Structure 1
Amino acid sequence: MRKQSMVSISALIAGLAFSVAGMAQGPVSVPAPEGWKQCPRCQNNKDRADAKAKYKVEGHASNPRDLSGVWGYNGIPATFRNPPPLTEWGKQRHAETLGDKNAAGEFLHNKDTYNGTGAPVNCDPAGWPRLHVDSYGFEFVTLPDRVLQFFEITHTWRTIWTDGRKLPENPPEPRWMGWSVGRWEGDTFVVESNGFEERSWLGESQPDGGWTHSEELKVVERWRRVDYGTIEAQVTIIDPKTYTQPWVTPAAKIPLVPGTELGEYMCVPSDFSDFNNRVFRPTAGSNRK
């Protein structure tokens, strides 16, 4: 576990220096042990093309109500890019996410303790719907009374209840993933969630801060398998305390990633304590623990 996490930290540092070269060469293929499958982000473009041909994705018959499979490999960063106008309360909350400024008065970073963009990484959970943005691949598993959605990044899951229960009007406690129920409307799987932990962000408002939410947040998702190799997802944010109107995101088409299985990509506090002391705090002019 520690080896993987330290490799991840090293990769983060190296990525700052070699991102341009990496973009030119394309991602590196990371083979799986014999009898295992690659993780979604372990494939390069050739691996994906080969797997698509091997599993005959094109023209494959599909059941629109079958959500099974591993989907995507690099998140959906464009999900929360164009929010509706903020309320006064929302503006105040957004201002609290802003980091330091340079001499020209431009924001250098934000106070994201999940990603550590401009703050020490403390492994706060990403929560939902931020995992929709940052996912390194996810998988739906359908059971008789619930649908489980597993994520590679942070190696976590959420439970969507499909047994007919209603959302609690007053959730007894906030949850990072929210309280979620789902139902089918034709061939569209509709998920409704509330009761979110207020410390989570919807996503980064790059480069200057984060899109926050209040305890009034309700999230509505619409999932539709448009063909065997594609699932479409649209997220609607309803939070009148933060946003002046519902925030309907663009419908994103997410590819099936055949021949893969979710790996483990975790935030380990003890490892990131090392990172904070060796990398973040020296650059921030502080060596406090």
Structure 2
Amino acid sequence: MTRSILITGCSSGIGLAAAEGLRARGWRVIAACRSDLDVDARRSDGFESVRIDHCDPDSVEAGWQAAMQITGGTLDALFNNGGHGMPGAAEDVPREALEQVFHSNVFGVHQLTRLAIPVMLAQGHGRIVMHSSVVGFVPLKWRAAYVATKHALEGLTNTMRIELRGTGVQVSILNTGPVTSGFRENSARLFDTWIDAGNSRHAAFYRGPFTARRNSTDPDRFELPASAVVAKLVHAVEAPRPRIRYYITLPAHVAAILSRILPERARDWIMSKV
């Protein structure tokens, strides 16, 4: 019997790579995108696609119902991949900007997951995979909004995993470091919208290293292709005993070790140098 998976954030990058990778393995993939234009593009690629915008609760509900019509009311796996970041020091992030990132990375994800859980409980099985980050368990300066949402997502997911224990619904977290995608460009657009860089006490940083990095086409150090994430996703949705957590890229593995063995002040010093 063909297994089905709903993947969010399939307009490009990791989401699109995941959709292609799972389809190649025989999965029935429902590729969700935020915009109608991207939904049309995925359908042109031969995918069954629905529109899900985490910032629009009605869109999440409608997209879920459309996915259920496609599958006949069942779902074997959900990959919560969609979301975005926004650079900027904590003191420079307006409340409205923080709310927007939380809507995208936490509230919309939570709404969709709550819709999926009853279906999976009724059928007695299911896999939920949350796309977190290395900053889900360690902080990174100049990324306050993103760090906050990923810490929140980890808290929700860890609690959910315990509550679903023994139900047949298994929950995993992907903690990625630098992976090739359009993440940097999308984040830069939000920075330009919300951050008053010229009047910040960090203005020199924003004008200098920050601008140089966002304008660079060079990959980040230790950056891996999206296929590295897809390989871990495959294990999370297909293995008889999926892992609770998957570290992806060298920085994620190193950060996990340091977070366990170092006191917080020592970790703060190290992260201040990154």
TM-score range, shorter chain: under 0.3
Normalising by structure 2, report the TM-score: 0.27
Task: Work out which structure has the larger RCO, using CA pairs closer than 8 Å and 6 or more positions apart in sequence.
Answer: 1
> Over alpha carbons, which structure has the higher Rg?
1
The structure whose residues are more often helix, as a share, is 2
Q: Could you tell me the TM-score, scaled by structure 1's length?
A: 0.26
